[in-house]
Amino acid sequence: MAENRENYVAARALIEKSKRILVSGHLSPDGDSLGSMIAMARLLNNAGHAASATADINALGKLGFLRGTDELIPVRKLKRQKFDLFIAVDCGALDRLPPEVRPIAEKLPVVCLDHHVTSTGEFAKASIIEPESSSAGEIVWRFAKWMDWKLDAVSAEALWVAMVTDTGRFAYDSTGPQTMRAAGDILKHGVRTALINDIIYGTFPRKAIELKRIAWRSLHIWKNRKVAEVTLDRDDFRAVRGTKADAEDVIEIPRSVMRNEIALFFYQIPDRTKETRCSIRTRGDWDATVLAAKFGGGGHRKAAGCTIKAPMGVAKRQMRAAVKELLKSACRKTVRISIDKLNISGMSPEKPAAVPAPAPDDTAVKGAQ
C-alpha cells in the first residue's frame, strides 16, 4: 500500500468532492465483482455519501442471496439517474463494464480499484491497482480501513463473498497473510460463513446442474491430458433457460482432469451474436493471461478470460492454436555435457577440490566503508 499512497489520496479527494456516486463491477458479475460493489456502495453511504451500485439483476444467479442486492439499480434504469463520480471495482478497462454503464463512465471522473495483473487503470483519474491482492474485495477492505470507514454486517458479508470466491475458499496462490488479516477482521461482524458456503458451494439450482451435465458430455482432452476443454453454446443455455451465472463453476470440469495444466471453457451467451467467450485456468508455470491477451482479454496468472470475435468453431480453432504455440514455446532441449569434456583438474569424486574464494572487489569494499 505504501507505493500506492498517492493513488489512495487521489481517490479520497475525488470521493470527498462528489455528491452522487455510481459503483459498478465487470459484465456478468462474479462473487468478487458483486460483493465488492455492494460493499463499496454500502460503505460510502454509511460514511455520509450518496452512492448506488448497479448490475444486471437478472444475471446474478445464486449470488442474488446477498443482502444489498435489493438496493442495486438495474442497469436498464441508469438513464434516469445522474452521477458525478464513477467507481469501478474488479474491472480495469471500460470495455469490461456492462454496455449500459460504459457511456456513463466515459463522461465522469473515475476511481478504479482492481487486482488483475493486466489492468492499467488508464481510463481512471485515480487507480488503485494491486495485483498482489487476492481479490478486489481485499482492496475495498484495505481502502475502507485507510478511510476509517466502519464495516457493518451487510458490507462485511459482501466482502467475505468477494474474497472467498476469488481465492477458492482461501486455497489459491493469491491467498497471503494480508488476505487472512482482512478475513479475520471481516469475521468480527457476524458473517454467516456456514450459510454462505452452503449456498455458493453446497447447493445448486436444477438449471445449473443441467448445464454441468451438458458440459460433461462435451469434455475434450488432448495433449496427453495437459489440456482439457468443455463447451456450452447458445442452444444449451436456452434449453435450460440458464444464464452465465448458472455456469460459473463449469470451468472446474476440465480443471478436475488428472494431470491437467490448461483448462478451457468455451461458451456463448444467448443474447450475444458472433462472439465466443473463453474462461482459462492454468497450473504450474503456465500464465493464463498470455492466452487471454491474444484476444484482448486479461485476468490473473492462473485464471483469466477473453471474448473471441468469432463463432464457436472458429474461436476454438484460434484458441487451440494459441495453446499449442504456448506449449511449443516452452519446449527446451536438454543439453548433456560429458564430464570428460569439462576442464577440471585435481578433483576426485569422493572429495571435490575447494573452490577458491573470489578476490575482493575494490569498488564493493570502498562502497561499504
Domain boundary (200, 220, 252) is at 200
Could you tell me if 244 and 293 lie in one domain?
Answer: yes
Residue 364 lies in a domain: no
| pLDDT band (50, 70, 90) for residue 338 | very low
> What residues pair up with 306 in beta bridges, in sequence order?
278
Judge whether residue 291 has pLDDT over 60: yes
Could you tell me if 243 and 289 lie in one domain?
Answer: yes
**pLDDT tens digit string along 174-209?**
899 999 999 999 999 999 999 999 999 999 999 999
Residue 304 lies in a domain: yes
Could you tell me if 292 and 150 lie in one domain?
Answer: no
| Among the ranges given (76-90, 221-235, 330-344), the one the predictor scored with the smallest mean pLDDT | 330-344
Report the CATH number that the domain containing residue 276 is assigned in CATH: 3.10.310.30
**pLDDT tens digit string along 292-305?**
999 999 888 999 99
Residue 343 lies in a domain: no
Q: What percent of the chain has pLDDT over 70?
A: 88
Report the CATH number that the domain containing residue 164 is assigned in CATH: 3.90.1640.10
Judge whether residue 276 has pLDDT over 90: yes
Could you tell me if 212 and 164 lie in one domain?
Answer: no
Could you tell me if 190 and 221 lie in one domain?
Answer: no
Could you tell me if 165 and 302 lie in one domain?
Answer: no
Judge whether residue 363 has pLDDT over 60: no
| Among the ranges given (47-56, 117-126, 349-358), the one the predictor scored with the smallest mean pLDDT | 349-358
Could you tell me if 223 and 142 lie in one domain?
Answer: no
Domain boundary (146, 170, 200) is at 200
Neighbours of 111 (CB within 10 A): 28
**pLDDT tens digit string along 17-48?**
999 999 999 988 999 999 999 999 999 999 99
Residue-range definition of the domain harbouring residue 237:
206-329
Could you tell me if 97 and 190 lie in one domain?
Answer: yes
Instruction: Give the model's pLDDT for residue 46.
Output: 96
Domain boundary (152, 175, 200) is at 200
Residue 271 lies in a domain: yes
Could you tell me if 230 and 191 lie in one domain?
Answer: no
Could you tell me if 110 and 192 lie in one domain?
Answer: yes
Residue 353 lies in a domain: no
Could you tell me if 60 and 174 lie in one domain?
Answer: yes
Judge whether residue 84 has pLDDT over 70: yes
Instruction: Give the model's pLDDT for residue 3.
Output: 61
Residue 81 lies in a domain: yes
Residue 127 lies in a domain: yes
Instruction: Give the model's pLDDT for residue 38.
Output: 98
| Among the ranges given (13-17, 93-97, 288-292, 313-317), the one the predictor scored with the smallest mean pLDDT | 93-97
Could you tell me if 153 and 292 lie in one domain?
Answer: no
Residue 149 lies in a domain: yes
Domain count across the chain: 2
